[in-house]
Amino acid sequence: MINAFSLILAIITGISGIFWSIKKLYTLMYDRDQHKKIFLQQSTKTYQQSKNAYSLIISYCSIISEFISSIFPILLLVFIIRSFVFEPFRIPSGSMMPTLLIGDFILVKKFIYGIKNPITQKTLINTGHPKRGDIIVFKYPKNPELNYIKRVIGEPGDKVIYNIITKQLIIYVNHVNNIACIQPLPIVYSNVVPSNFIQVFDNDVDGRVNSSFIQIGPHQKCPHGIRLIQTTESFNGIEHNILTMIPPGDQNLIKMYDQHTKHLISEWLVPAGEYFVMGDNRDNSADSRYWGFVPERNIIGKAIIIWMNIKKQQEGIWPISIQFHRIGNIQ
More confident residue, 250 or 327: 327
Using alpha carbons, select from 47, 73, 116, 314 the residue that is nearest to residue 202. 314
CA distance 262 to 260: 6
Strand arrangement, sheet containing 225-235:
209-215, 188-203, 225-235, 238-244
Q: Is position 95 annotated as part of the catalytic site?
A: yes
**In the chain, what are the domain boundaries?**
4-70, 104-329
Catalytic-role residue among 150, 159, 167, 302: 150
Residue of 6, 16, 95, 195 with catalytic role: 95
CA distance 115 to 124: 6
Q: How do 123-125 and 328-329 pair as beta strands?
A: unpaired
The residue with greater pLDDT, 50 or 240, is: 240
Answer yes or no: are the C-beta atoms of 299 and 108 closer than 8 Å: no
User: 158 and 170 in contact (C-beta within 8 Å)?
Assistant: no
More confident residue, 65 or 31: 65
User: Concatenated DSSP letters for 266-301?
Assistant: EEEEPPTTEEEEE-SBGGG--SHHHH--EEGGGEEE
Please name the fold of domain 104-329. Answer: Umud Fragment, subunit A (2.10.109)
Distance CA 176, CA 159 (A): 8
Task: Give this prediction's pTM.
Answer: 0.82
Q: pLDDT of 2-25, one tens digit each?
A: 667 778 888 888 888 888 888 788
Percent of the chain beyond pLDDT 70? 82
Q: What is the pLDDT of residues 186-206, one digit of tens each?
A: 999 999 999 999 999 887 777
Peptide bond into 247 cis (omega under 30): no
List own/partner pairs for 191-196 with CB under 8 A and 24 or more apart: 191/230, 191/231, 191/232, 192/229, 192/230, 192/231, 192/247, 192/248, 193/229, 193/230, 193/231, 194/218, 194/227, 194/228, 194/229, 194/230, 195/98, 195/227, 195/228, 195/229, 195/230, 195/243
CA 148, CA 144: separation in Å to the nearest integer? Answer: 10
CA 29 – CA 226 distance, rounded (Å): 74
- Cβ atoms of residues 234 and 190 within 8 Å: yes
Read off φ and ψ for residue 275, nearest 5 degrees: -135, 150
For the stretch 70-124, pLDDT in tens is 888 898 898 888 888 899 999 999 999 999 999 999 999 999 998 888 888 788 8
Pairing relation of β-strands 299-311 and 328-329? antiparallel
Coil, helix or strand at residue 99? coil
Q: How far apart are CA 89 and CA 112, in angstroms?
A: 17
d(CA 79, CA 226): 45
